[in-house]
Structure 1
Amino acid sequence: MVMINRIARKLGNLTYGTVESIFRIYEHSNLSRAPGLADIPKYKKRQGGLGTTTYGEWCYTVGLFQGILKLALPAERPLKILDVGCGVGRLYLAARPSMNEEDHYTGLDLSKRCIDICKSTYKEDNATFVYYSTNNSYYKSKEANNLQPWPLEDNSFNMVTALSVWTHLREEDWVFYLSEVKRVLSPGGKAVISFFVLDKDYDAALPRKTDEISPYYPQQKNKWIFDKGAYGSKNWLCPAWVSVPEVAIGVREHAFLDAIEKAGLRISRFHSGSWKDQPALFFQDIVELEHKLD
């Protein structure tokens, strides 16, 4: 049965990739108001990433974050962006329309394959891609579990982005890498991060989280109930269905706010996500952070 499922998956991927390639030939000749979509990597390369692979969701995410990042741009130029967990470049395509010749983007990822794909796909002088080796029980379980600082200098970026990275971090890692955001972010800079916050909107949504398909995302509502402690934590929780906690981890609001405070950061803007079965900009919660004022 395992072999049959594997073969079926490969055939499905081959079919999807072929159909998409044909579609995109005609699609791109008609694009007129969507910068960057023509540069979305081909399906085979997107499979090298650790998250979303479908062309439609890439288009949605790139377009949405073009606007979100534009609103969060720091006043100081040149723009120096660090994209943590860059995958195969979704947020690079989102950030690129806001960048000029003096600006620079650095993508950081724990997948050597992702970094290699980015280097071969995006050849612009304003982009650098850095491999960072670390452990994650879901994505990279064989690496040594050592919390190592990013190979980046203090105060070297005025924008940090991370799309669904803290979603896959246990409590210790979550807190440590938040302090790394503070370390590399220059005063006046902004950090834009998405994950799951278990706040009052989540609590209000719990009675609605049945096995019905949500009108806000194409999954059952009760898939996104965080009721199991991640490695025994009281404040970092995961759904009961996950194979390992790092598949999806949410943090209770008071613990989230406490971690932000201890890291020396503060919230400048917060967008609650549609995973709480409500109208929203994006599926996950999006938080914009900056240095805490003294």
Structure 2
Amino acid sequence: MNAPFNLDPKFLDTAPVSVANACLETLLKSIERNRFLPEPDPASVFVGDGNYRAIGTEYLGHYVRIGGLKPTDRVLDIGCGIGRMAVPLTQYLDETACYEGIDPVNEGIEWCVQNVSRVYPNFRFCRVDIAHELYNPGGAVKGSEIVLPFGDAKFDFVTMISVATHLPLEEIAAYAREVSRLLAPGGKLFLTAFLVSEGDPDRAEARPQFQPGAAVGSWIADPAAPLGAIGFDMPLIPGVLEEAGLRIDLVSPGHWRGMESAHYQDVIIAVKPEDAP
């Protein structure tokens, strides 16, 4: 069963902030301790860096506190991987909500179908054969021509965690157009990126250490694998989101540049205007 805590949006909207925060903290701690939730083999190269459960739980907190995610939201997870964000969401989204996860790497999709969808049928996963020079070099669809297999205005909340950090700007723009199509009016995009401001590349404590990329306004960590970690001058990604019809609601700097922050990558919250067609 989804959402084991009383996370009724009407209660959370009217409860004092301290009470709502306490409810969320209790939920996050219970997720981290829950030994019955599915978790992939840590030895799998597809799991990625860091603690699988802890990072997913951290981002659930960010979704709610920064992004305003509600338990009833219809969620699209672009770049869902092996379910790092999906697993904690099973404990937050209620049974009236739905979740769709997409990724080009079949290993992660198969694991999620077998271990998440089997228990939580309102969580669905599908592989989209998008070409990527590192993660899916033989993909059939160019990232700049992506059309996602969902109807217009189907989602209330779209998340792209560590996706824009591996894409050229023209592909981020293509995803932005699709997100704008897929969001219902008032819906939100939660996107993480490396937004590079003046002085950031010179910070000794910055991780990664960026150098100028081949494209104007781009920054790369490794010339041998430019899309392994790529950043862009601060205005560029917000600019393509706005061009796609989204309104920038928040830009929250991350601690990758060596400053204090609750999250590693920079976070952008973009909203589809209520009067959007």
User: TM (normalized to structure 1)?
Assistant: 0.75
Aligned to 1:120: 114
Greater helix fraction, Structure 1 or Structure 2: 1
Q: Is the 8 A contact 1:69 1:95 kept in 2?
A: no
Question: Which of these residues, 218, 223, 228, is aligned with residue 236 of structure 1?
Answer: 218
Aligned residues: 242
Aligned to 1:3: none
Written as runs of structure 1 = structure 2, the 5 A alignment for 1:119-198 is 119-122=113-116, 123=118, 124-144=120-140, 146=142, 147-198=145-196
* SS class of match (1:153): coil
- Verify: 1:248 aligned to 2:229, yes or no: yes
User: Which residues of structure 2 form unaligned runs of 5+?
Assistant: 1-26
* SS class of match (2:139): coil
- Verify: 1:34 aligned to 2:18, yes or no: no
In 1: Cα distance, 2:28 partner to 2:187 partner: 32
Residue type at the aligned position of 1:117: W
Residue type at the aligned position of 2:55: T
Aligned to 2:103: 109
Q: Is the 8 A contact 1:46 1:88 kept in 2?
A: no
In 1: Cα distance, 2:73 partner to 2:99 partner: 8
Q: Is the 8 A contact 1:266 1:289 kept in 2?
A: yes
Written as runs of structure 1 = structure 2, the 5 A alignment for 1:1-294 is 33-35=29-31, 37-38=34-35, 39-43=37-41, 46-49=44-47, 51-52=48-49, 54=50, 57-71=51-65, 72-73=67-68, 78-122=72-116, 123=118, 124-144=120-140, 146=142, 147-199=145-197, 203-209=198-204, 214=205, 221=206, 224-229=208-213, 232-239=214-221, 241-292=222-273
In 1: Cα distance, 2:43 partner to 2:63 partner: 24
Residue type at the aligned position of 2:129: S
* SS class of match (2:134): coil
Distance 1:236 1:205, change over 3 A: closer
Shift of 1:58: 2.0
* SS class of match (1:167): helix
* SS class of match (2:195): strand
Distance 1:269 1:155, change over 3 A: same
In 2: Cα distance, 1:32 partner to 1:90 partner: 14
Query: What CA deviation, in whole Å up to 9, does each residue of 1:5-34 have, x standing for no partner?
Result: xxxxxxxxxxxxxxxxxxxxxxxxxx9933
Question: Which structure has the bigger radius of gyration?
Answer: 1
Shift of 1:254: 2.0
Q: Is the 8 A contact 2:39 2:53 kept in 1?
A: no
In 1: Cα distance, 2:195 partner to 2:200 partner: 13
In 1: Cα distance, 2:52 partner to 2:113 partner: 19
Shift of 1:172: 1.6
Shift of 1:161: 0.7
Shift of 1:164: 0.1
Residue type at the aligned position of 1:264: G
Distance 1:126 1:282, change over 3 A: same
Query: What CA deviation, in whole Å up to 9, does each residue of 1:169-188 have, x standing for no partner?
Result: 01221111111111111111
Query: What CA deviation, in whole Å up to 9, does each residue of 1:215-258 have, x standing for no partner?
Result: xxxxxx4x5233232xx31022212x242211111011122232
Residue type at the aligned position of 1:141: P
Q: Is the 8 A contact 1:170 1:245 kept in 2?
A: no
Query: What CA deviation, in whole Å up to 9, does each residue of 1:41-60 have, x standing for no partner?
Result: 132575334x33x4xx2233
Distance 1:117 1:242, change over 3 A: farther
Distance 1:102 1:45, change over 3 A: farther
Q: Is the 8 A contact 1:74 1:189 kept in 2?
A: no
In 2: Cα distance, 1:32 partner to 1:197 partner: 28
Shift of 1:151: 1.0
User: Which residues of structure 1 form unaligned runs of 5+?
Assistant: 1-30, 215-220
Coordinate RMSD, CA, aligned = 2.3
In 1: Cα distance, 2:163 partner to 2:267 partner: 12
Q: Is the 8 A contact 2:78 2:158 kept in 1?
A: yes
In 2: Cα distance, 1:115 partner to 1:274 partner: 30
Percent identity between the two aligned chains? 24
Aligned to 1:218: none
